[in-house]
Structure 1
């Protein structure tokens, strides 16, 4: 039997026309949508100067508006907004810009907290500089994101190189916080373009200039090198190399790990023990299988006469090694583990077995700064030279003022959050950048020529040193800090504890703080 509905819908002339028209309209509309999507670029912008690269959900680049954009990071929102409010007060064109170049969207391993603290410290110095006896030029601060693990550094650096003219007037880049290949590339590109760079927490010996080679003209640093840290640690601990051994990463290309390993190896030339080796994952923040390797290494360490273990590796592997030592079979023996400033990440690492630190294991590291280094307490009195309590007190005062409305808030801070040293060292790096910008400014001019800023480093010494919150910043002719104070800090099951100041030269600098000739 025929279906009358089917007949009526599909076989009458009228229905054929209607059906054909509807189908044609749908085909035309579908074709238009496909063509439109294929020919119209996807909007991947996040803010002026910032967008999501293809294949990435991160917003990277330079926030050129300087209006408080936080790169989608809620924990950075208060301090980013404060920076935006401060930038908005700058009128009349008598300002110079400093960009803060950091992996702002990094996750895990304590990185979000460290990035936050760097922004807080840098902003405190911007706030101070813009109220310092009406000196000019005023300082505008821009945030520049290289993305997680600095993957998008090239894109961001290429942007920065275009910002030296009006209206941005970029004259220095600070931040530059990790000693790896990406950061080395960024420093190279920026200094090649004549832009001054002030590193905060880069410590690798090979991201530096020297008397034989200066691959980064215009680079200055406020942190000691890994070599200086190692010498300060060894001098402080009076280490007997006959009872010491080295544990180090075999993965090459990481400038922090490579140069720390070399520095420790030099110190332990007379050690009777060959180094114990591990190989981290390509991503140093990945857990990988190194925890198993460290469990085996602890058995080998127990079979030596070693009392001191030097560790050259990143914080994830350091945490795994500490956890393994906490579960060692020879708990009746006491060990001291010495390492570089990467250990500062562990203060906020929830995966650290804090009971390991109560098992006869002492973990000490060379910090870049610490809130107790320049404050008298109990029997401790800071040394007469190399830094000053007054400079640290000024830092605290500026941080406190900048956090209050209407300038602030800038997010949480206090003794615990200052313990990683990031805010302190970022404040000092900005102070060094501000000094160079203003000293390079000719009388009567709004600001300096781009190339002149990085030429100021040889004069930052003696009476012209920067009185940093982390200690005196006396630069040699190549932009490296001379005999910079190294706080020795001990990990505890609560807050990292300041132990004492150590010095690469074995004692604090003289009053004049003049670096010796280097050959």
Structure 2
């Protein structure tokens, strides 16, 4: 009887048939895995996110254009994007024109994300009114969201997609949003308008992203917000600032059209100021903290060395917050100061890094807002201007914005209000440009409507009357002056006017030159 060792040895010896079967199995496995590997290597990576939306090479952001309810991976936008998708789904082929809201939807900056959400909510609120509360006027309006990515870095591919949509069944006829005064936005506006697409800027305020006498860089561009120059003029009329007791703090980083034109406007309004401006340099991405907080600590010493009572600040919101925090611990807290700045101050209300205690150190912070919920609402001791806007238009907005979210939409930063007005202006132009008997206008005809948006053809905006001059700029637009309270609330102070007083009831811009 064989021992156990002999049995084990015999079991290890394979017959020729066994060897053949084993070889075939091994080959099949290797070939199968190899085929899978080759397939993985030769099949292009699927970088799509949704219809007409994909992740560009080297980026994880979903970039493109969509109106089917896609929220670009941003949970905050899920509710309103879904509402837009449902509204678009009710539209029949051939009965609508499309308006795009062009924004950095996937921004990682907290302030910008709040701004984006509120602008999309405002745009949807007017889309609903246009389709359901406008006496069946045509065409109906399809709304799409267009993402340019963080810092508008992917504006080119998104703009190219929008331009292509003008000649398809989408019938893109206007682009709204374009909400930051940056180089990327300027290039996007230039590309769109060069292609004959009408553009309505919401919160772009830079003077050089505009048309004017002698230059028409952006044919078909309109804006519903005042320029930085008009903001500075309104602040000057409101504050009656003594230049001898004023001091300017400004960013030296160039290429930021908001900052560049704001400091030019402040400089023009501070002729006779005794001191040269205090300078700081923000990071290339001004939403980053950088090292400017150290510079502001030094600047507060210089301010204490002056007789200044009013400080004009020309810079973006991150640096503005750092500056306010530094002023809260300045050496001369026994002296009172007022900081005046542009509409970037609207970000402060939601900025969790703002030191609220700084506002208790004899420090008042006021900014020129683009819109405010209290500007056109009656209140004890507050007189509503007889022209330049109306309580009725604002009341209509409140009805419409309630449809944009289950919870009340935040209105104090003005973004939802101004985006609603931009959509109203875009829809007004699209319908005015539509020939009698036609379903929709020609692409090039929409932007030619701007010179007629004035007088009795003005847009009754929730932020105030929108009366455009021949270059698409709002004439003497209401500028709410807002104060940041010690609790961080954004308190309406009063409405100021670039021309010093409200427009006449005709709202016709005077001849220039």
Secondary structure of the corresponding residue to residue 166 of structure 2? coil
Between the aligned partners of 2:64 and 2:7, the Cα distance in structure 1 is 66
Secondary structure of the corresponding residue to residue 80 of structure 1? helix
- Deviation of 1:6 after TM superposition, in Å, equals 9.7
**Structure 2 residue 476 is matched with structure 1 residue 467:** no
Aligned counterpart in structure 2 of residue 413 of structure 1, from 408, 412, 418 = 408
- Deviation of 1:157 after TM superposition, in Å, equals 0.4
The match for 1:274 is 276
- Deviation of 1:23 after TM superposition, in Å, equals 5.2
Between the aligned partners of 1:297 and 1:7, the Cα distance in structure 2 is 91
The match for 1:104 is 105
Count of residue correspondences: 507
Q: 1:478 to 1:3 in 2, by over 3 A?
A: farther
Give the TM-score normalised by structure 2. Answer: 0.95
The match for 1:296 is 298
For residues 155-304 of structure 1, the aligned pairs below 5 Å read 155-304=157-306
**Structure 2 residue 421 is matched with structure 1 residue 428:** yes
Q: 1:36 to 1:354 in 2, by over 3 A?
A: same
- Deviation of 1:166 after TM superposition, in Å, equals 3.6
Note the aligned Cα RMSD (angstroms). Answer: 1.9
Q: Does the Cα contact within 8 Å between 1:126 and 1:140 map onto a contact in 2?
A: yes
Q: 1:98 to 1:3 in 2, by over 3 A?
A: farther
Between the aligned partners of 1:490 and 1:17, the Cα distance in structure 2 is 87
Q: Could you report, residue by residue, the CA deviation over 1:267-290 in whole angstroms, capped at 9, with x for unpaired residues?
A: 122111111111111111111111
**Structure 2 residue 122 is matched with structure 1 residue 121:** yes
Gaps of 5+ in 1: 404-409
Between the aligned partners of 1:165 and 1:500, the Cα distance in structure 2 is 46
The match for 2:321 is 319
Between the aligned partners of 2:9 and 2:461, the Cα distance in structure 1 is 88
Q: Does the Cα contact within 8 Å between 1:373 and 1:487 map onto a contact in 2?
A: yes
Q: Does the Cα contact within 8 Å between 1:180 and 1:256 map onto a contact in 2?
A: yes
Q: Does the Cα contact within 8 Å between 1:109 and 1:316 map onto a contact in 2?
A: no
Q: Could you report, residue by residue, the CA deviation over 1:347-402 in whole angstroms, capped at 9, with x for unpaired residues?
A: 101000011111101000000000000111110111111111111111112223x2
Q: Does the Cα contact within 8 Å between 1:76 and 1:411 map onto a contact in 2?
A: no
For residues 1-150 of structure 1, the aligned pairs below 5 Å read 21=24, 24-63=27-66, 66-91=67-92, 93-130=94-131, 131-150=133-152
Q: Does the Cα contact within 8 Å between 1:386 and 1:509 map onto a contact in 2?
A: yes
Between the aligned partners of 2:348 and 2:238, the Cα distance in structure 1 is 22
The match for 1:407 is none
Between the aligned partners of 2:12 and 2:108, the Cα distance in structure 1 is 60
The match for 2:500 is 506
Secondary structure of the corresponding residue to residue 448 of structure 2? coil
**Structure 2 residue 438 is matched with structure 1 residue 445:** yes
Between the aligned partners of 1:126 and 1:518, the Cα distance in structure 2 is 35
Secondary structure of the corresponding residue to residue 510 of structure 1? coil
Q: Could you report, residue by residue, the CA deviation over 1:182-229 in whole angstroms, capped at 9, with x for unpaired residues?
A: 110110111001010000000000000011111000000000000100
Give the TM-score normalised by structure 1. Answer: 0.94
**Structure 2 residue 484 is matched with structure 1 residue 497:** no
Secondary structure of the corresponding residue to residue 365 of structure 1? strand
Q: Could you report, residue by residue, the CA deviation over 1:406-441 in whole angstroms, capped at 9, with x for unpaired residues?
A: xxxx25325xx1000011000100010011000100
Q: Does the Cα contact within 8 Å between 1:208 and 1:216 map onto a contact in 2?
A: yes
Q: Could you report, residue by residue, the CA deviation over 1:126-165 in whole angstroms, capped at 9, with x for unpaired residues?
A: 1111121111111111111111111111010000011113
Q: 1:3 to 1:324 in 2, by over 3 A?
A: farther
- Deviation of 1:44 after TM superposition, in Å, equals 0.8
Q: Could you report, residue by residue, the CA deviation over 1:45-78 in whole angstroms, capped at 9, with x for unpaired residues?
A: 1110001111111111001xx2211112121111
